[in-house]
Structure 1
């Protein structure tokens, strides 16, 4: 027995306690993603994949993205019984589209419904980012647009009516506190005719002042709306 163990030891075949890991030369760990980087210019990148066996009639693999709004076109290599490896190509769908921030997608590449490889693709933000849109000036709302619909409105109703008017005229969506604040609310009152024991009172127009919040990205300036009670 000792002689046999000595022979096996010389051949490197003696088992030892503990776990044994077997690595096969041609196998690839499909659970470990390959990292792909696409630069700010959007230059295409490639990465090699290898399939284990060719299936008649299936010359290409399929790629799917983790993003429902993927910005990538992924092209499979062409396989055959003699060609089991090739390069997967990663391109931007629109190289001219401006990316204000880095974009990341996980691409899963399959052949014959089996995962061959996964890729973590990082696309750099564009070299230049678009200038923010100019704020819209509340003061551009003029004329009849400064008059809200008549009604016996309290301050909350007047605020809602003013915001609706601003959004409609400037084609934006402002939010109180974030974009605008309110001041100078005056409740509308109807005129009162003089009669016995009653003093005449003129009509009071409802008024509310809307001011843009300095930090708002949508609006600037100030506008004053008025309305009648009826």
Structure 2
């Protein structure tokens, strides 16, 4: 980066349906930020802190009907509250950018829309738990549902400890998620940017870097 006043640490979340490639893109973005002299941490939801990781196991494994929609939303919010307090805010306070694989938009999409609890209900729950805290930028990786689920299935088949509880929900649930994410992006265009994820990994990363540069006035490479 140019030799000037350090940029205030930023919080970036990556969102999208199953198999969108968020984890890969976060790693690549972290590597690029490092090359620009910007320290960062990579984290995820549900999870990201010791307590939240314990809750993660309850949420991403087991039968698809393991929890009622309200219980699921409360567990997600509990994990997120711990994550913010134990990991995200401390990192930002030490001038590290935070790159997060999912954040509260996932609750709006999965529990609000997919589980039919409603957007207002989920937003009120989040506000009660952690007030107005939100990412500076949210990148929504969008691709056709069938492509994403095929990618996710291939990924899970390579694991010995499957975390596919949400992936096993029916196709209509995932179509609802995709529509919900696009609605979120339409409602908050300043914070949320849609990135076409049915491209090569390198093409997606190029687009992400361009968005980050423009959003935070970073110099071109």
Return the structure number with greater strand share.
1
- Give the TM-score of the pair, scaled to structure 1: 0.20
| Normalised TM-score (structure 2) | 0.21
- For CA contacts below 8 A with separation 6 or more, give which structure has more relative contact order: 2
